[in-house]
Amino acid sequence: MKYRKIRKTPLTVSEVGFGLWTVSTGWWGKFTDAEAIALMRKAHDLGVNLYDAADTYGNGKSEELIPAAFPGMRDKLVIATKVGYDFYNHGGERKGQREIAQDFSPKFLRFAVEQALKRLKTDRIDILQLHNIRADQVSDDSIWSTLADLEKEGKVISSGVALGPAIGWMYE
């Protein structure tokens, strides 16, 4: 496995990561927790250290799988997760890519990060991504100052944006 250093951070990540979307949502077939954990551990055995989750994947399930798969191994992992979809108030079981309400307010971002930290059973998120944020929201300085504050507090090491074409960001 090849690894890369993420600039301006102490993080070194595998060039291949393990995305938890498929194993935590049930949208492309069902995976038991045992099957998901076995896949995650096999990837780690092959050198993968980057695990990419999102709070909305399986309504928190993707984040819960990481500490279940790797108890006591936090410092051997680079954990990336995404926030911004408010499944807490607009959730329920989803089938397919039906979008739910988004919230990138400072209050919600802090809430979502705290909830993710609990599910991940950790004190920090290595890479926090704003999940499919829209172009008109990117210029909101309060979002970026909140992320900077979370980094200063040590709750987040690095932050950025995750975009996906299936939800219409290309029109922007």
Domain range list for the chain: 3-163
Q: Tell whether the model's pLDDT for residue 167 goes beyond 70.
A: no
CATH architecture of 3-163: Alpha-Beta Barrel (3.20)
Mean pLDDT, the chain, as a whole number? 91
pLDDT in tens, 3-22: 999 999 999 999 999 999 99
- Which pair of structure tokens corresponds to residue 45? 């055995």
- Per residue in 49-84, pLDDT (tens digit) is 999 999 999 999 999 999 999 999 999 999 999 999
- Distance between CA 172 and CA 167 in Å, rounded? 11
List Cβ neighbours of 17 (8 Å cut-off, separation of 6 or more).
48, 50, 51, 52, 80
Q: What pTM does this model have?
A: 0.91
Check residue 96 and give its pLDDT: 54
Catalytic site positions: 57
Do residues 94 and 109 touch, judged by C-beta distance below 8 A? no
Closest to 21 in 3D by CA, of 157, 162, 170: 162
